[in-house]
Amino acid sequence: MTWEKLKPPEPDDPICCCECDFYPYRCCDCEDLDEVFRRWLKEKPAPPGLQTPMFGAMIENLELSMVPVLLLLPLLLRVASLHYLLGIVFLTALPGLVLWYYYATHKRKRRTLFFLTLALYSLAYMYYLFITEILPRGGVSSLQACAVTTGMILTLASLIHTKRGPGFVSAALHEAHSHRMKTAEGSAHLSAASSSGLLMTGTEPVPQKWSMCPVCKVMRPPRAGHCKTCGSCVQRLDHHCVWINSCVGRANHRSFLQTLCVFMLTSVYGISLVLRSLCPQQHLMTALFYCPGIYSQSSTALCFTCCWYSSIISAGLLYLLLSQVLNISFNVTEREVQLALRNKRGQRHLWGLIVVTGEHSRGFCQNWVEFLTMADASVSLRSNLPSLV
């Protein structure tokens, strides 16, 4: 077999199994196989007639990083519930492994479904254990079960709304802004001429400073930023959140904060119900650290381990929620915080939780009013349908 036959094909060159001389007597007519491989090499989807739309969407968004979550999470939780020492080892190593994978993914600037799959699957698995293990034990009323179910539904609904898009910057956005500025300028001139009979140039509106993105080559508004992971510019970019596999920007920042709040309330309430059911004689905070006889049954040990697992995830998201609330209170985005610290223009307060830039802040109340009333000004050709990936 010659070296020329082992060279990788060029993007436009066909590849055929008959060109390899491993088994020359098994040469086949493989035009369909050539077409599939060419589309795979070019990252093109297969023709619509070869697969159903649902199967095509699953294959297109499938990642190997989803497999460990779907297979190993229930297994590891059951192993951790066998003994409290195993639980300590697993629950101690889990945050470290997640952070390691986060930094490995963040360094390569690529999107991944690992964290979104972990969040959704953990939420579904905790709810499954709540229905199958906690409710049959008694001690949880129908109203309390409905409250947990409502929290689950609201969390998923808020997540879907967040996934609609962060507000991408497009060329049409700058055109619409220029048209509005010309209209406002003409209106100001007409009103000045009608009131004084003269055209007063001093009443012209001050235009906002738009800048050209060196990567996207589009004009973007103030406070917009380019996300290297998504490969697009986002209006009022806050950060790229790996837990939703999307950016957080002007269009979905409020729904992102709502998702965090609803999840935190549901998680804390669900953990309290589980602990009251498993350790009715113990105080709520005491039961999380000490519950006699909890490892006598596999089901109670698994639910207790899942309480600790949920508490660790809730603690991480609580830190994220707290940082978001503080940033909104000072009218600063996470991207602006990082830029201010890099350029040494920010002032740290409260052990680094607050970074004050003083550039956009107009007071606590005005900052929150601006955040709650801001609207998506994007004019995008992208689909408005939500995507969970």
- 3-class state of residue 168 by DSSP: strand
Known catalytic residue at 30: no
DSSP 215-261: TT-SEE-TT-EEETTTTEEETT--EEETTTTEEE-TTTHHHHHHHHH
Measured between alpha carbons, how far is 18 from 35 in angstroms, rounded to an integer?
14
Tokens 């060329």, located at residue: 171
Q: By the 8 A CB rule, do 155 and 269 touch?
A: no
Catalytic annotation, pick one of 227, 230, 233, 241:
241
Other Cβ atoms within 10 Å of 264 Cβ, number: 17
Long-range CB contacts for residues 80-87, cutoff 8 Å, separation at least 24: 80/305, 81/295, 81/298, 81/301, 81/302, 81/304, 81/305, 82/301, 83/295, 84/295, 87/305, 87/308
Exposure pattern of 52-68 as b/e (b: 16+ CB <10 Å)?
eeeeeeeeeeeeeebee
Is residue 246 left, alpha or beta, with left meaning phi > 0 and alpha meaning psi from -120 to 50? beta
Annotated catalytic residues are: 241
